[in-house]
Amino acid sequence: MTPTLVPLLLSLVAATQEEGLERSELVCRWAMAGEARELARALREDASLAGARDSRGRPALFLATIFPQEKKEETVQLLLDAGADPNATWEPIAWAPLHAAAEYATPEVVRALLAHGAAIDAARTDGDTALILAALHGRIDNVVALLEAGAAIDARNAEGSTALHRALGNKKWEVVDVLLRHEPSLDLVDDDWGAPLALAAFHGEARLVERLLAAGASVNPPFSIRGFTPLMSAARAGHAEIARLLLERGADPDAIGAARYGEGAIHLAGREASLPLLDALIAHGADVNLLNSEGHTPLALTQDAAARSLLETHGALERLPAVDLGELELEVWRLASWGERRYRFQRLPRHGSGEKEPSEAGTIVLATEVSATGVTLRDTYDLHAGARRVSAVVTTRCRANDWLSPTRIECAGDGGEMPSFTATVAGSQATVRTAEGTQQRELPADTVTLEALLRIVALLPRAKGTRVALPHVLETGEWGLREGYVVTSLGPELVGAGEGALPCTKFAVDRSYGRAMVLWVDAGGIVQRMLVDGDKLAELIP
């Protein structure tokens, strides 16, 4: 080959590649514009162009299902007849032509795609199927076409939502009617509102509430991750008549939501100052002193004067009476069963953050030694949140006959988030030694440490509603003295699910400046689970 031919050949190759790219782009543009004549001519010349993609990676068939305002059906049919793959997706969300058609096209396009092998129940990366998308956007004809072709009516997306959830959430009532005629499951719970009945109740749709109940929907379905029952949803939206209907059908007036959103309908009614709703709840036996997951009564959360007056008329209290810790006999020997307990911490995903799974947040090991001479509490922390890390060993020594009051505290910290120190306590005086020097601190005689608090709860009375007032609590990490701790028994609750579920008593540890923690304690006095500050959940490692 002569040197003069090389540049010529290279230019011919480059021109051919450029022409190919331009042709693919042209086919995609014709598909978008519904230019059926030009598209047909191109496909006759080269049928492989049916699989063309534009510069963004979108298949021509996908574009044809969304964009053309005219001749959409003809354009889609041309591509399918030329061999376009009906399941070719646009990444990164695996958006297929059928997903697009369900939302943007006609039933004829939907049926054409299905006739050429489109996967009817294929899901995008967010879990949405064609039926879910058609229901969400109120495309009733496409919903009918998909159901007639056998689409799975109970398919669920990444949030647990079905087509029925999506139609209810977006107020597509005609679509809801169509879906109900095809007998979907009525008690499936999604991450947001829960069961379909809860959505109908929130929107105040009495007709749909009646219809769902008549079709067999449970009036007390399982909670969603946010902890709402249908009655709570009606209460949250202020629909007193819907709430009354649900109560008449057997809704539990005292159900408490999940730990992170743990309020009952009566707490919500008090917050919203809905007198008709409060009347309905009280008339159906709601507990006016029901405790939420933080140990608060409805009256404590109610600001409106008329609502407060109504609650007080029926015996509501701002705070239930609390027993002073000093009045209880706490048998120190029961602590011996603690031994060493290891807990794994996870940070729960916050609602609306887009996170789906908990993230690891470290471990805590709680060790308890009981002897004739005293009690030793040794807590080993290894916690992290992003770049922050806390590592420390806190050892608290107490007398055997007064194990609540510390005599010596030692903290071997990481030198960063948790500094090292030693404190010797004699009476009300604490001598604290750190790397910076020695200081004297005044401590009330009834001070206990946060480390002791975790063990105290295991020894408290378990009857639901029992409140115990703690003395001052010393948080040794910051050497901060906090007042106003109250521990409230919220009654029995299972930890875990199925045959392995463990009966426990749930305790709320509330302090005057906000939520501290929720603890689940088994019959042997061992904390099985703890929720700290609403987003850090610790589970006992067997």
88-110 per-position pLDDT tens digit: 999 889 999 999 999 999 999 99
The 10s digit of each residue's pLDDT in 167-193 is: 999 999 999 999 999 999 999 999 888
Q: What is the mean pLDDT of the segment spanning 264-273?
A: 93
Cα(first)–Cα(last) distance of the chain, in Å? 77
The reported pLDDT for the residue numbered 438 is: 94
Report if residue 489 sits inside a domain. yes
Residues 231 and 353 in one domain: no
Cβ count within 10 A of residue 414: 15
How many alpha carbons lie under 13 Å from residue 300 in its C-beta half-sphere?
A: 15
Q: Are 427 and 412 in contact (CB under 8 A)?
A: no
Report if residue 504 sits inside a domain. yes
The reported pLDDT for the residue numbered 3 is: 46
pLDDT of 388 strictly over 70: yes
The highest-confidence range among 128-142, 282-296, 376-390, by mean pLDDT, is 128-142
CATH number at residue 234: 1.25.40.20
Report if residue 508 sits inside a domain. yes
Q: Which of 141, 139, 192, 142 is nearest to 162 (CA)?
A: 192
- Cα separation, 170 vs 138, whole angstroms: 8
Range of the domain at 388: 326-418+446-540
Last residue of a domain, one of 263, 297, 320: 320
The reported pLDDT for the residue numbered 6 is: 40
Last residue of a domain, one of 295, 320, 345: 320
- Cα separation, 269 vs 279, whole angstroms: 10
Residues 382 and 479 in one domain: yes
- Cα separation, 379 vs 411, whole angstroms: 9
Report if residue 515 sits inside a domain. yes
Report if residue 352 sits inside a domain. yes
> CB-based contacts of 119: which residues, under 8 Å, 6+ apart?
87, 96, 98
pTM score above 0.75: no
Residues 237 and 350 in one domain: no
The 10s digit of each residue's pLDDT in 44-84 is: 999 999 999 999 999 999 999 999 878 899 999 999 999 99
Angstrom CA distances, 269 to 243, 281, 297, 320, 536, stand at 11, 9, 12, 20, 28
The reported pLDDT for the residue numbered 258 is: 64
Buried b / exposed e across 352-375, counting CB within 10 Å, b at 16+? eeeeeeeeebbebebbbebeeebb
Percentage of the chain modeled with pLDDT above 70? 91
Residues 282 and 393 in one domain: no
The reported pLDDT for the residue numbered 259 is: 47
The reported pLDDT for the residue numbered 516 is: 67
pLDDT of 257 strictly over 60: yes
Split at pLDDT 50, 70, 90, the class of 356 is low
Split at pLDDT 50, 70, 90, the class of 2 is very low
Report if residue 144 sits inside a domain. no
Residues 247 and 360 in one domain: no
> CB-based contacts of 492: which residues, under 8 Å, 6+ apart?
464, 503, 504, 505, 506
Percentage of the chain modeled with pLDDT above 90? 58
Number of domains in the chain: 2
Last residue of a domain, one of 299, 320, 341: 320
Residues 525 and 467 in one domain: yes
Report if residue 40 sits inside a domain. no
Report if residue 346 sits inside a domain. yes
